[in-house]
Amino acid sequence: MMLALEMYRSPAKYLAAKAVGGRIPGVLTGPAAPLRLVTINEPKAEREGWARIRPILSGICGSDLGMVTGSTKLYFSAVVSMPFVPGHEIVGELLDDCEDLPKGTRVVMDSVLTCAARGVEPCEGCVSGNTNRCDRITVGHVAPGLQTGFCRDTGGGWGNLVVAHRSQLYAVPDGMSDERAVLVEPLAGAVHAALRAKVQPGQSVLVSGAGAVGLFTTLALRELTQAGRITVVAKHAKQRELARAFGASDVVAPDEVFRGVRRSTGAFRLKQDFSGGEFLLGGVDVAVDAVGSKNSIDTVLRVTKAGGRVVLSGMPASGADLSPVWFRELEVTGTYASAREEPNGRPAFETALELAGRAPLDGIVGARYPLYRWREALDHAHSAGRLGTVKVAFDVRAS
Amino acid sequence: MARPGFVLEVDDRTPPLIVHNGEGFLLERFPLGTRVVYPPEALPAVRDVDEAIQNALLNPIESEPLPELLRPGMRLTIAFDDISLPLPPMKKPDIRQRVIEAVLELAAQAGVDDVELISANALHRRLTPNELRDIVGERVFRSFFPDGKLYNFDAEDRDNLTHLGQTRHGEDVEISKRAAESDLLVYVNVNLVAMDGGHKSTSIGLASYKSLKHHHNSQTMIHSRSFMDHKASKMHHSAWRMGEVLTEHVKVFQIETTLSNDIFGGPIEFLQKREWEWSLKDQASMLGTKRALAAAPAKVRHKIFTDVRANYGLTGVNAGAIEPVHEKTLEMVHRQHLVEVQGQADVGVIGVPYLGPYNVNSVMNPILAACMGMGYHFNSYRGNPIVRKDGALILYHPVPYEFSQLHHPSYVDFFEEVLAESTDPATIEAKFEKQYAEDPWYIHLYRTSYAYHGVHPFYMWYWISHCLDHCGDVVWVGANRKTVERMGFRSASTLQDALEMVSHSVGRSPSITYLHNPPHLIADVR
């Protein structure tokens, strides 16, 4: 038996969380949340290539919060299996030998449950190395679930035990702290986003949002591409400071995006009738939305130059105005998780592990909570930007 | 006979004094011993304006009479000062209208039919058709505007600029092609303060950025002492050199007019008077106005002030060759504005009014407020500033966070972006000026909308560089704390607090000089 936070099916609580979740954090983690701390059976690692892992730190991701607050789209309901233990940003210790990785190895996990993990014939995505595009995430010998942390059978990082397939695991180098290692999964996502952005040398980039996704994407863009000016939209003081440390050339407040991008790119700024909404003729070559809100997506679409590229990195909301996509012939692309074979020919996790080793990431994990203080942890994560924190994590061993 | 300027020493019988404070005013009780510099009263106006104009045109200084310069088939261009002068705008008819009508009449008599009129706005915003009409009058407007013969100068219209050459200091002289290729360029000036007129009219008013950048820069501005004395101002030295080049190519007939200090009339006439001489009616007007302004919504207050039109009397009109005409002009302007002040003070106090050259029919944004207080009023001296070196300057203005996106789009960016990085004029000049000057959006708005050129906020900031260099402390009374902080200054709630804040540099019993303007004055500090 193990202690774990469990997400369970409760339409009433889902609706309640959807109604108030994003606005009143205290309520979302109270009685309204479809989440509970329970003692449950440990997941089993009975098939070849699978092993048990004892999580050390497990991060709280924006997608986890979206789920708890009911802002995740019902689209995803078909690719999860209830009840499940959330948590996919994990650094943990192997409790079993796992092929070439001996018991006791510290590992991080690519959470996507691909064909290899499910024991099925590889799909087109997995064959090509685009494992994050796997089409078999609902079949095989594991219950449906797009990732560990959304699957009934594997457990998740917000519990005392999780099982994983060898194809998901990467050994953490000696000397790398747990606090850095737990950031490898989101860093891998950022590596993937930065490479998907296909930034050409000298091109201007806008990153909307300076939470963990936005900051890490900024870092990855600066490290892995020859981007020219990178403008980051940051709301809070600490975010502004970190954005600069991670390679932003300019940092603008959300209400200054049009002004800042217009200035830095020499674009023309127009105001539409009635609503007062603005847009640019000209703008950045590439924009990355790392928020997912309607406002943020609207903004990146409106400040990207004609023929430019918009990368949706945050889980998108509905209702964005797609007129600029049509009118400015924008290329809109999504980025989800990370791939086994990125455009640079390497798994994103390998690149992320290198970044985690050398980037200025000290203090990025700004708070650690035991599982039984999950309400405070989620409240903190929900207000992380305002509180000057980038990443909140569960200290699973302390639970 | 008008009374000259006057310096009052505040004693225990001195009543509270009016201090201009944006769109309103305060009654401030100054510390005992404060010296208050009052402007001279309005000089008597010329009785027959049309006769004075005719006389100037027919009997010019060091030039043939205007009729002798006009001939059929010639190309005549009349350039005139834009809306930045006079302040406040004058009641109709504008003096420029009367001069232009007189010139056009002579031109018509001489059979000149190729005439164009240009508002010499340099990098200032274009004037709207109504604003042009207010300056030149209905008759001239209707005759020339519909045919495109009355228009704003466009410093970004590359096809219509002419590079006349360089001065001996390597400064480019690039001006309006029409003006440069005219057989005669008549310039119609309004000289409200001694900074205007002379070679500044043509070589600045009709010039492009390529030309202007040679003197509108931080180094020149910091060494221009004072702007009110063209012989001591590096900016003027440069303009004069350019003027020499310009006049080698173009025959210029300069017409300069000078105005009296008669600004505030009607219910706000008390603003013209010295407080202890207020009649009961003045006191009642003052109290009524003060309360009404305090109670009025911001929009109403703004409208009240933007509607103010000054009475101004014409005190002189001179025409002919630029330099001798300007000498005459300066003589008259100084007679109207100079007030002798003995010695500098530890602290200077200035009330910044609601209006400056660059917010006519618009709003005074924080940069313009700084420019008015620290650029214009601080520099309103001859000889030495009223404040000693490293002394303190205390300014009154609410400095709200308020910008006109129509008129000042680049100012918003300058405030948010440039000043966030540095407030040092030389630093921002090196890092940002070119970007702003060449920004295609600002250029587009300058050419097609009613926006000041992208580089204009830089010029406003350079304008204050002498004050920044000279004063140890600058404190704004009653100002928005955030806006003045962004500009590198401090804000105090009251004069007493401001004096407390500057006491570390000027002591607890500093000497204080309060410039009681407007009406305009120039402190002749000996």
Residue B7 exposed, middle or buried by CB count within 10 Å (0-12, 13-18, 19+): middle
pLDDT score, position A67: 82
**Residue range B440-454, pLDDT digits in tens:** 999 999 999 999 999
pLDDT score, position B297: 92
Please list every residue in chain A whose beta carbon sits closer than 8 Å to the beta carbon of residue B416: 256, 259
Q: For tokens 């401001």, name the residue.
A: B498
Taking alpha carbons only, the member of A94, A84, A103 closest to residue A56 is A94
Question: What's the CA gap between A43 and A25, in Å, rounded?
Answer: 31
pLDDT score, position B306: 87
Architecture of the CATH domain A189-334: 3-Layer(aba) Sandwich (3.40)
Query: Residue B193: is its pLDDT beyond 90?
Result: no
ipTM summary value: 0.78
Supply the mean pLDDT for chain A.
92
For chain A, the first-to-last Cα distance in angstroms comes to 14
Query: Residue B286: is its pLDDT beyond 70?
Result: yes
pLDDT score, position B3: 83
Per-position DSSP letters for A21-69, written without gaps between them? TTT-HHHHTTTT-SEEEEEEPPPP--STTEEEEEEEEEE--HHHHHHHT
Query: Residue B5: is its pLDDT beyond 90?
Result: no
pLDDT score, position B493: 97
Per-position DSSP letters for B115-138, written without gaps between them? EEEEE--TTSPPPPHHHHHHHHHH
CB contact set of A274 (below 8 Å; sequence gap of 6+): none
Please list every residue in chain A whose beta carbon sits closer than 8 Å to the beta carbon of residue B437: none
A280 → chain B, closest CA residue = B441
CB distance A39 to A2 below 8 Å:
yes
Is any Cβ of chain B less than 8 angstroms from the Cβ of A236? no
3-state secondary structure (DSSP) of residue A262: helix
Determine whether the interchain pair B416/A262 forms a contact, defined as Cβ–Cβ distance below 8 Å: no
pLDDT band of residue A25 (cuts 50, 70, 90) is low
Supply the mean pLDDT for chain B.
95
Out of A180-184, A321-325, B232-236, pick the least confident: B232-236
Taking alpha carbons only, the member of A185, A188, A164, A180 closest to residue A93 is A164
pLDDT band of residue A19 (cuts 50, 70, 90) is low
Query: Residue A20: is its pLDDT beyond 70?
Result: no
Query: Residue B30: is its pLDDT beyond 80?
Result: yes
Within chain A, residue ranges assigned H as helices are 11-20, 25-28, 62-68, 115-118, 124-127, 178-181, 184-196, 212-224, 237-245, 257-265, 294-302, 323-327, 348-358, 374-382, 384-387
Give me the mean pLDDT over the A59-77 stretch: 83
CB distance A81 to A152 below 8 Å:
yes
Please list every residue in chain A whose beta carbon sits closer than 8 Å to the beta carbon of residue B413: 259, 263
pLDDT band of residue A23 (cuts 50, 70, 90) is low
Tell me, rounded to whole angstroms, the distance of Cα B466 from its chain centroid: 17
Fold of the CATH domain A2-172+363-398 = Quinone Oxidoreductase; Chain A, domain 1 (3.90.180)
**Residue range A134-164, pLDDT digits in tens:** 999 999 999 999 999 999 999 999 999 999 9
CATH 3.90.226.30 in chain B: give the residue spans. Answer: 6-38+342-525
More confident residue, A211 or A63: A211
Determine whether the interchain pair A268/B412 forms a contact, defined as Cβ–Cβ distance below 8 Å: no
Tell me, rounded to whole angstroms, the distance of Cα B29 from its chain centroid: 29
Query: Residue B516: is its pLDDT beyond 70?
Result: yes
CB distance A8 to A36 below 8 Å:
yes
Please list every residue in chain A whose beta carbon sits closer than 8 Å to the beta carbon of residue B417: 259-260, 263
Give me the mean pLDDT over the B404-429 stretch: 95
Cα dihedral sign, A120-A97-A394-A38: positive
Query: Distance from A307 to chain B by nearest Cα, in Å?
Result: 20
Query: Residue A399: is its pLDDT beyond 80?
Result: no
Query: Residue A22: is its pLDDT beyond 60?
Result: no
Fold of the CATH domain B6-38+342-525 = 2-enoyl-CoA Hydratase; Chain A, domain 1 (3.90.226)
More confident residue, B231 or A86: A86
pLDDT score, position A209: 96
Q: Which long-range contacts (CB under 8 A, 24 or more apart) does A239-243 make?
A: A239/A210, A239/A211, A239/A215, A239/A385, A239/A390, A240/A210, A242/A210, A242/A215, A242/A364, A242/A390, A243/A207, A243/A210, A243/A214, A243/A215, A243/A218
Residues 250-269 of A with CB under 8 A from B: 256, 259-260, 262-263, 266-269
Question: What's the CA gap between A3 and B211, in Å, rounded?
Answer: 76
**Residue range B352-376, pLDDT digits in tens:** 999 999 999 999 999 999 999 999 9
Query: Residue A329: is its pLDDT beyond 90?
Result: yes
CB contact set of A305 (below 8 Å; sequence gap of 6+): A265, A267, A280, A282, A283, A284, A285, A328
The share of chain B scoring above pLDDT 70, in percent, equals 100
Is any Cβ of chain A less than 8 angstroms from the Cβ of B441? yes
In DSSP terms, B525 is beta-bridged to: B341
pLDDT band of residue A319 (cuts 50, 70, 90) is confident
pLDDT score, position B62: 97
Determine whether the interchain pair A259/B439 forms a contact, defined as Cβ–Cβ distance below 8 Å: no
Is any Cβ of chain A less than 8 angstroms from the Cβ of B291? no
Is any Cβ of chain A less than 8 angstroms from the Cβ of B401? no
Secondary element (H or E) of residue A89: strand A89-94
Give me the mean pLDDT over the B4-29 stretch: 94
Give me the mean pLDDT over the B189-218 stretch: 92
3-state secondary structure (DSSP) of residue A233: strand
pLDDT band of residue A15 (cuts 50, 70, 90) is low
Determine whether the interchain pair A268/B440 forms a contact, defined as Cβ–Cβ distance below 8 Å: yes
In DSSP terms, B9 is beta-bridged to: B35
pLDDT score, position B234: 86
Determine whether the interchain pair A262/B441 forms a contact, defined as Cβ–Cβ distance below 8 Å: yes
Give me the mean pLDDT over the B145-170 stretch: 97
Determine whether the interchain pair B440/A269 forms a contact, defined as Cβ–Cβ distance below 8 Å: no
Query: Residue A212: is its pLDDT beyond 90?
Result: yes
Q: Does domain B49-259 have CATH number 2.60.40.10?
A: no
Q: For tokens 């900074």, name the residue.
A: B195
pLDDT score, position A230: 97
Please list every residue in chain A whose beta carbon sits closer than 8 Å to the beta carbon of residue B444: 268
Give me the mean pLDDT over the B487-494 stretch: 97
The share of chain B scoring above pLDDT 90, in percent, equals 89
Best residue of B416, B444, B455 to probe chain A, by most A CBs closer than 10 Å: B416
Paired sense of beta strands A268-271 and B17-20, if any: unpaired
Nearest to B413 among A263, A267, A268 (CB): A263
Cα dihedral sign, A180-A184-A185-A187: positive
CATH 3.40.50.11440 in chain B: give the residue spans. Answer: 49-259
Query: Distance from B273 to chain A by nearest Cα, in Å?
Result: 46
Query: Distance from B494 to chain A by nearest Cα, in Å?
Result: 31
pLDDT score, position B231: 81
Domain extents in chain A: 2-172+363-398, 189-334
Question: What's the CA gap between B161 and B62, in Å, rounded?
Answer: 29
Query: Distance from B358 to chain A by nearest Cα, in Å?
Result: 22
B440 → chain A, closest CA residue = A266
pLDDT score, position A29: 59
Query: Distance from B419 to chain A by nearest Cα, in Å?
Result: 14
Is any Cβ of chain A less than 8 angstroms from the Cβ of B421? no
Give me the mean pLDDT over the B293-321 stretch: 92
Determine whether the interchain pair B412/A267 forms a contact, defined as Cβ–Cβ distance below 8 Å: no
